Structure formats: structure tokens, C-alpha cells
Structure 1
């Protein structure tokens, strides 16, 4: 079994899900006493969120590279960034660290294509929905057509993530808002919805959508198990 290096804490609410899913996956494969070999670097998300809001991505690149190097020094053999948005820093990590990096968009796209989806919608932070680093990978490397919500819907999806979900708050009114956003995306032709923020699965589930939801947290964590046991 390879040792996985988890870059987490962004937020810890979803990092805890990674820890649970990866360990459950290893136990299912190797037996009831088995658990994953993991090294975890967990950020103070307040520091990360402040730099995101300021648009200081060079500083964020530096922090993420430092985390990757610390995990490599701790014995990690592969890296998992436990968040969608901070995959914006994946090129900097890949350039500075020799460890293989399991990109969250890849197992998500593979699952969508395996199920026959080609026109999908993406929910996530404003960074993930609006910038090219995530959508372009889905479109250019995997051939998917990716829809994003309209501007006012993007603002509400982003607000709920940063004001509620990262703080562990689950609000019924926000669930209803997400349901409405999903319905509008389905009306535009999306046959599946990517939950492209690792906290969104805390708020909505299959019962909230008329089309399948693809939880990037679970797909990424399950791919990490496969990589660790390969």
C-alpha cells in the first residue's frame, strides 16, 4: 500500500470526509482491520480564504508547494489536494514536487463519461465555476460540455459555501436555493451536476436533483484508494 499525502483543511469539514472515505475503501479492499497509510497537512482555512479573496494566487501557490514538500518529506508517495478550488495550484505543485498528483477533475470526468454524460453542469466556488483551471480540464482533456449557473446563481452558490458550509452550517433555505439553481441548469440541458466543491455534498443529495449528482469528494477519495492499492 502506498502512503497518500493529503493536503487538507480547506475546509476541514470536507477533509474529514476524505479521511473517512479513504479508510473505508481500504478496509473494504483489504479486510476489517486494514486502514490507509496517510500523511495529512491541514491548513488554517482562514489564511487560505483571505488570500483567495485578495487574489494572491502566487502566495497560495507557495503555501501549497510547501505543503506538498512537507508531505513528501514525511514519506508520502502520491498527493491528494482535498478541495476543488485549490487545484488552481496543481501546476505549481507538479512543477516543484516529484510526487504524482491525483487531480480531482479526472475521476469525476471519467465517471461522467462512463455513465454517458457529455453535457454537464458545474457547481462550486466562484473561482472554480468562473476560471479556466477546472472547466478547461473537463472540456479540453475529457471532451465534456460544461455549463455554469447564471451570475446571480453563482454568487449565491459561492456565498453559501464560504458563509455556511465551511463553518459546518446546513441551512434548509440554502438547500432550497441550490435545488432551484440545479433545476435551472437542467432546464438548459445539463444531464448531470458536478458538485465541484468538496463541501456541497454536505448540503444536497440525490433527492435534491432531477438528474444525477457527481460528488467530487467521494469520486476523488475512491480514486485515491485505487491509486494507493495499485
Structure 2
């Protein structure tokens, strides 16, 4: 089994999902007392979020690259950035280390296509929904991408940062996001992307009206395929 390096803390809420899911997947595949071989570098999210708000992605890239080098020095044989938005810095992370980066966008695209999705509604932070890095990765894999309108993107961004990243999951916010999903379905989406690793803390993919990929889970599955491959 290969050792996976996790760049986490963005947020701590979803990083705990990664830890639990990776270990569960190894136990399911190998049985008994098996668990995943992991090295975790958990960043303080507040300074990272401040840099995001300032649109200073060069500075966040420096932070994530340093984390990747530390993980590789500790024995990591592949890297995971445990967040969708911070894959904006995927090139800097990969350039910093020899170990491969397992990209959340690739895992998501593969999971969507396995469910027959061609036109997916992307839900995530404003950065993930509006910047090109994520959409272009999915489009390169042959998928069309829809997003909510501008006002809904701002509302979802606030739900993620003000609630989900701080461990709050509320019924009013659940209703707001479900309404976004219904609008996306009416606009022609045939699948849903939980394109923020915290959205799975608010909604269950199994309850959605369309095939749905929780990116945190898909990312973990791809990572364990690598680790056990």
C-alpha cells in the first residue's frame, strides 16, 4: 500500500471526511484491521481564506507547495489537496514534488461519466464556480458545466464559508441549495457536482433528483485506487 499525503484544513470539517473515508475504503477492500497509510498537513484555513478573498493565489500556491514538500519529505507517495477551490494551485503543488498529484477534477469527471452524466450542475465556492481552472478541467474530459446565477453563487459561497466550514448545517440553507438544484435541472442539467468538499455535510447524494458526485468521496476513491494499485 502506498502512502498518501493530504493537504488539509481547508476546511477542517471536510478534512475529517477525507480521513474517515480513506480509512473506510481501505477496510472495505482489504478487510480486518487494515487502514490507510496517510500523512496529513493541516493548514490553518483563516489565513488561506483571507488570501483567497484578496485574490492572491500566488501566495496560496506558496503555502500549498511548502505543505506538499513537507509531506513528500515525510514519505508521501502521492498528493491530495483536500479541497476543490485550492486545486487552482494544483500546478504549483505538482511542480514542488516528484510524487503525483491526484486531481479532484479528474476523479469527479470520471465519476460523472460512469453515471452517464453529460451536462452537470457545478455547486461550490464562488471561486470554483466562476474561475476557469475547474470548469476547463471538466470540459476537457468532455463534460458540459452549468452553474447557478450570480446571486445564487454568492448565496452558496456564503453558506459554505459562514456555515459549513464552521460545522453548521441548517435546514434553511439546505432548502436554498435544493432550490438551486431544481433550477439547474430545469435548465437542462442531467447531473450534480458537490464541487465543494463541505456540501456533502449538508446534502446526501442519494437523496438528489439527478445523479450526483460528492467530490470528496470521488477523490478518496481515486486515491485508494492509486494506493492499492
Query: Normalising by the residue count of structure 2, what TM-score does the alignment of the two structures yield?
Result: 0.98
Q: Which residue of 2 aligns with 1:212?
A: 211
Paired position in structure 1 for 2:31: 31
Q: 2:171 matched to which residue of 1?
A: 172
1:118 maps onto 2:99 in alignment = no
> What corresponds to 1:185 in structure 2?
184
For 1:45-194, what aligned pairs fall within 5 Å after superposition?
A: 45-140=45-140, 142-194=141-193
1:210 match: secondary structure = coil
Q: Distance in 1 between matches of 2:186 and 2:85?
A: 26
Contact 2:205 2:214 in 1 (8 A): no
Q: How many residues get paired? A: 229
Give the SS at the match of 1:197: coil
TM-score for both structures, normalised by structure 1:
0.97
- How far is the alpha carbon of 1:210 from its aligned partner? 1.6
Q: CA RMSD in A?
A: 0.9
Please say if residues 5 and 38 of structure 1, whose CA atoms lie closer than 8 Å, have aligned partners that are also in contact.
yes
Question: In the alignment, is the contact (CA less than 8 A) between 2:117 and 2:211 conserved in 1?
Answer: no
Unaligned stretches of 5+ residues in structure 2 = none
Unmatched 5+ stretches in structure 1: none
- Deviation (angstroms), 1:208: 5.1
Deviation at residue 82 of structure 1 after TM alignment: 0.5
Tell me, in whole angstroms, the C-alpha distance in 1 between the residues paired with 2:82 and 2:32: 25
**3-state DSSP of counterpart to 1:52:** helix
Q: CA deviation at 1:2?
A: 0.4
Superposed displacement of residue 207, structure 1: 6.1
Structure-1 separation of matches of 2:208 and 2:116: 18
Cα pair 1:18 1:217 within 8 Å, conserved: yes
- Encode CA deviations 1:20-54: one digit per residue, 9 max, x unaligned: 01001111111221111100000111111111011
Question: Cα distance, 1:205 vs. partner?
Answer: 1.6
